[in-house]
């Protein structure tokens, strides 16, 4: 047996040199390959803010996806039946809006929020994040701008009915929807360089400012301006028509019958809900740009999370608006749920359809001439 004092001796000279070389190699590796934590500055200015809501966004988006996706598919099937039954351009625009909402739920809620955040835990390659960001913005722009041709169609139908009969038909509406979808996809390409507000700790730069202002202009300010102008003209036109009908009914001792149409009420509901639900997100994004970053301030982080939750709610509420406003839509949804076949109206011969259209145009023209003669007499 070896004595105890020999067992406690320090390592020999050769072993000591091997130990020093190994230690130097480990130190050199740690110095040349920085860790993930060293990529971000460790000062308080760039310290990442905590998510106050915890798992609430994940639960919320899961419920929204489980409810909204089947509801939008049901809406799409019902609108396709209405399009085949009525041959109206209105339902083509509503189908485009519903399809864009489905894409928004797929790319933004499912891929963007649930997969990247809850499943992958943010460990996603940068090129994949940027590619998904392009699809998210394109789907979002398409979902919002699909409402613009619908608003224009309703304005022409109410304020210029004769022109609407000439230019509004399903084939033309499909071409317009195709152009809108292509422009929406092209508008999402610049957002390949969008900086994720949750992951990037540096303050917004010049490129970030340009992209943020482009985003809020495309997504909120420009469409809301169009909605405000056209809806105001629609309401003014309806009021003038209602006052004219009341005067004629008063002279003929009839009860006034002027009221807001269901299609117009549906349009006003869609645009108003959009303006209300997207306003908080627009305000928080601009606050992030000029006041305080989402990455550094937990209050801004909380406001941004809540604003995103409200904005994504807009992709699932249109079905309930349609059911509340339209009795015809409720009937078609009931037929779809009960697995009933589409009950199309029998097609009339072409000359009968042309005759009915001419009769409608002549009745409108005669009505306009009667109102003109009445104005001259007064």
CATH of the domain at 137: 1.20.1070.10
Give pTM, 2 decimals: 0.74
292 in a structural domain: yes
In degrees and rounded to multiples of 5, residue 52 shows phi and psi of: -70, -35
> Rounded to whole angstroms, how far apart are CA atoms 262 and 154?
11
Q: Point out the residues of the chain with pLDDT beneath 50.
A: 1-12, 16, 18, 21-22, 24-47, 255-258, 345-378
Q: Is residue 10 situated within a structural domain?
A: no
CA atoms within 13 A on the CB side of 357: 13
- CA-to-CA distance for 266 and 154, rounded, in angstroms? 11
Residue 120 has a pLDDT of: 56
Whether 31 is in a domain gets the answer no
- 98 near 105, Cβ under 8 Å? no
DSSP 42: -
Closest-CA residue to 245 (of 257, 236, 232): 257
Is 304 a domain residue?
Answer: yes
CA proximity to 96, closest of 183, 185, 188, 173: 173
Question: Is 263 part of a structural domain of the chain?
Answer: yes
- Residue 360 falls within a domain, yes or no? no
**For position 369, what pLDDT does the model report?**
43
Phi-psi label, residue 54: left if phi above 0, alpha if psi -120 to 50, beta otherwise: left
Assess if residue 359 is contained within a domain: no
Phi-psi category of 3—alpha, beta or left, where left has phi over 0 and alpha has psi -120 to 50?
beta
Q: Are 330 and 337 in contact (CB under 8 A)?
A: no
Confidence (pLDDT) at 361: 44
CB 148 within 8 A of CB 181: no
pLDDT digits (tens, 9 = 90+) for 105-157: 999 988 877 776 656 555 667 788 788 889 999 999 999 999 999 999 999 99
Residue 33 in any domain: the answer is no
* Total number of domains in the chain: 1
Using CA atoms, how far residue 146 sits from 63, 95, 101, 270, in Å, is 25, 9, 10, 11
Give the helix, strand, coil percentages of the chain, each rounded to 5. Answer: 80, 0, 20
Please give the Cα distance from 114 to 130 (Å, whole number). Answer: 16
280 by DSSP, 3-state: which? helix
DSSP conformation letters of 319-365: HHHHHHH-HHHHHHHHHHHTTPPP-PPPPPPHHHHHHHHHHHHHHHH
Residue 285: give the domain boundaries.
Answer: 54-336
Q: In which residue are the tokens 């992209």 written?
A: 211
């Amino acid at each position: 047996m070896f004595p105890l004092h020999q067992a406690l001796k320090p390592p020999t000279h050769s072993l000591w040199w091997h130990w020093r070389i190994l230690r130097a190699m480990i130190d050199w590796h740690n110095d040349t390959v920085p860790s993930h934590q060293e990529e971000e500055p460790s000062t308080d200015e760039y310290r990442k803010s905590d998510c106050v809501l915890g798992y609430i966004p994940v639960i919320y988006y899961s419920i929204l996806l489980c409810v909204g996706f089947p509801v939008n598919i049901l809406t799409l099937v019902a609108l396709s039946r209405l399009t085949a039954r009525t041959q109206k351009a209105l339902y083509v625009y509503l189908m485009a809006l519903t399809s864009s909402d489905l894409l928004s739920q797929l790319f933004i809620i499912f891929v963007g929020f649930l997969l990247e955040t809850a499943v992958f835990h943010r460990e996603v390659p940068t090129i994949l994040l940027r590619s998904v960001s392009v699809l998210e913005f394109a789907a979002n722009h398409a979902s919002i701008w699909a409402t613009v041709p619908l608003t224009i169609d309703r304005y022409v139908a109410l304020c210029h009915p004769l022109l609407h009969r000439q230019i509004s038909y399903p084939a033309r509406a499909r071409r317009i929807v195709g152009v809108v979808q292509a422009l929406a996809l092209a508008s999402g390409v610049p957002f390949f360089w969008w900086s994720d507000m949750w992951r990037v700790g540096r303050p917004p730069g010049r490129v970030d400012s340009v992209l943020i202002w482009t985003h809020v202009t495309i997504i909120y300010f420009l469409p809301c301006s169009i909605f405000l102008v056209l809806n105001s003209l629609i309401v003014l036109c309806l009021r003038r028509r209602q006052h004219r009908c009341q005067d004629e009914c008063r002279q003929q001792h009839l009860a006034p019958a002027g009221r807001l149409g269901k299609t117009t009420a549906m349009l006003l509901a869609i645009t108003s809900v959009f303006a209300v639900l997207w306003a908080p997100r627009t305000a928080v994004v601009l606050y992030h740009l000029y006041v305080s970053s989402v990455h550094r301030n937990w209050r801004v982080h909380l406001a941004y999370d809540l604003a995103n939750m409200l904005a994504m709610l807009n992709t699932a509420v249109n079905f309930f608006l349609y059911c509340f406003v339209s009795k015809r839509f409720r009937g078609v949804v009931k037929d779809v749920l009960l697995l009933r076949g589409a009950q199309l109206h029998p097609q009339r011969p072409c000359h009968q359809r042309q005759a009915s259209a001419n009769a409608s145009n002549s009745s409108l023209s005669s009505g306009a001439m009667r109102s003109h003669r009445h104005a001259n007499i007064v």
